[in-house]
Structure 1
Amino acid sequence: MKKTTERHQAILEFVRTRDASVEELCAALDVSEATIRRDLTVLAKQRRLVRTYGGATALVGMHEPEASLDERKATQREQKEAIALAAAAHVRDGDTVLLDGGTTCAALARRLSVREELHVVTNNLLAVMALANAPGVRLTLVGGELRSSSMSTLGPLAELILGRLTVDVAFLGADGVVAGFGLCEASAQQAYLKECIVARAAEVIVLADSAKLGRARQQHWTPLLRDWRLITSTLADEAMLAPFREREGVTIELAPELEWSAVA
């Protein structure tokens, strides 16, 4: 049963980014056509995808409940810390840096707390807590409506503030990152705020653990119509990375795994 459940999840992940034929799914999952056809029939009956002639496509409007803040803090912790360490290497003393909401950006904030002559702009209250007493960091909080599920701010006031700022480098998180689509988010306000951030940054770096690559579980999108860097984990396999390698303007950086003693 576990193998069937895992296979169903893999099929759903596959069709969320594009239509898929039975042959493509067979090759990707290394199973027979009969198995894939049975799986598609089951998933269609569960209204988790739509059968097409010779394959399947995503169910329009399909989305999943957003994970809680506590769940996100505990998930992929080692990867997030490794990504944060790699991201910190892109920050120079004297930079103005924007940190997006999310636990990976909060991990980056902890790495930046020892830096000198740094100006950090953020809507991430977890990052604020990490940087509030950092002597070398000037901290600007982007105000707005509090989103308690992520401990970040958003809405018209946050958008207005961002429209009055420019930054050297912006670090963005997301619920999912899909090559050719952009950043996937649970709400339109989140997606649009990230679009505002992208417009005000000289450099854009997306921080995403391997579980977020190709994941399109929410309905709202921030397009990335410019050059950008993706920092992810060495645990991301080539099948996850290939769609990003095929895109012009995307630079991929793999953050080496850390020893647990460096994370704890």
Structure 2
Amino acid sequence: MKKTTERHQAILEFVRTRDASVEELCAALDVSEATVRRDLTVLAKQRRLVRTYGGATALVGVHEPEASLEERKSAQSEQKEAIAQAAAAHVRNGDTVLLDGGTTCAALARRLSTREDLHVVTNNLLAVMALANAPGVRLTLIGGELRSSSMSTLGPLAELMLGRLTVDVAFLGADGVVAGFGLCEASAQQAWLKECIVARAAEVIVLADSDKLGRARQQHWTPLLRDWRLITSAVADEAALAPFRERDEVSVELAAEVRMPPLS
């Protein structure tokens, strides 16, 4: 039998990606129903999960500190480059493309810098830097208030500008993505801006590394009430992917990791 701390960690990992019944947890951990119920009670009192009728689910809406921009740049960098490469295959010459804030969308911008006849709309200043001198790319910057932690713009001016645009494909990042909930964000402004983007795009593609699948540790949400594509890493655990594969509105695409030379 696993030690108590090991069981607790296993339970938290199990419910991170899906609701779990007591019976499922008993089978997964090879312990008695009494042990599982006792563990769930302890974890619920510690506010690490939520008890449900007959089981448990992840604790949604618990705020955790945001990573700094430098931390985001270095986290899962190989996965992000692979995801960016896969995402670039969905961009056609002549498209109008929207790039959301975040380091994965910035990686995609670098991939698009050699394209011809492309219109890129973005609130991502990292993407602007990558595309500013691209001769084949027409670049439109969405204005608004600067969010220095992500080097992106947001707020009423950004929302107003989005209301005057439509795009062929929008690429969205997020702090987390949860099947059936949508995109998890640290602020209401971020979540609402993404909702505005979703409303103006013919196609929506979410770019998320494996750590963001099932992650629900912020308090604000952008629902995805339409067909959309998830591009994530091929190293993602199948248990984390299963809730997305089960939903008819989601197409899941896995990107094999690639090694990129260091940026000059």
Q: Give the TM-score, by structure 1 length.
A: 0.89
**Count of residue pairs the alignment pairs up:** 260
Deviation string 1:160-197 (CA, Å, 9 cap, x unpaired) is: 00000011110000111111111111111111100100
Contact 1:13 1:214 in 2 (8 A): no
Query: For the residues of structure 1 that align with 2:6 and 2:155, how far apart are their CA atoms?
Result: 37
CA–CA separation in structure 2 for the residues paired with 1:176 and 1:7 = 25
Any conservation in 2 of the 1:122–1:141 contact (CA below 8 Å)? yes
Q: Which runs of 5+ in 1 are unaligned?
A: none
- Is 1:224 the counterpart of 2:224? The answer is yes
User: Alpha carbons of 1:229 and 1:141: their partners in 2 closer, same or farther (altered >3 Å)?
Assistant: same
- The CA distance in 2 between the partners of 1:136 and 1:4, in whole Å, is 59
Deviates more, 1:166-175 or 1:42-51: 42-51
Provide the secondary structure at the position in 2 that maps to 1:225.
Answer: coil
Match of 1:177 in 2: 177
CA distance in 2, matches of 1:203, 1:261: 28
1:40 aligns with 2:40: yes
**Within 2, Cα distance between the matches of 1:250 and 1:14?**
21
| Aligned residue identity for 1:108 | L
Equivalent in the alignment of 1:157: 157
The 1:32/1:197 distance shift into structure 2, 3 A limit, reads same
TM-score by length of 2: 0.89
In 2, Cα distance between equivalents of 1:106 and 1:9: 34
Relative to 1, partners in 2 of residues 1:241 and 1:61: Cα closer, same or farther, differing over 3 Å? closer
Q: Distance in 2 between matches of 1:246 and 1:24?
A: 18
Structure 2 alignment gaps of length 5 or more: none
Map 1:234-245 → 2, pairs under 5 A = 234-245=234-245
Q: Offset at 1:263?
A: 6.7
Q: Name the counterpart of 1:87.
A: 87
Amino acid at match of 2:192: Y
Please provide the CA RMSD for this pair: 2.3
Q: Where does residue 11 of structure 1 map in the other structure?
A: 11
CA displacement, residues 42-80 of structure 1 (integer Å, 9 cap, x when unaligned):
423323234456433455642222222111111111100
Say if 1:12 and 1:145 are closer, same or farther in 2 by CA, change over 3 A.
Answer: farther
Q: Distance in 2 between matches of 1:96 and 1:71?
A: 30
Contact kept in structure 1, 2:17 and 2:213, CA below 8 Å: no
C-alpha distance in 2 between matches for 1:31 and 1:210: 27
Return closer, same or farther for 1:205/1:239 CA change in 2, 3 Å cut-off: same
User: For the residues of structure 2 that align with 1:5 and 1:193, how far apart are their CA atoms?
Assistant: 40
AA aligned opposite 2:95: D
Equivalent-residue separation in structure 2 for 1:42 and 1:66 (angstroms): 27
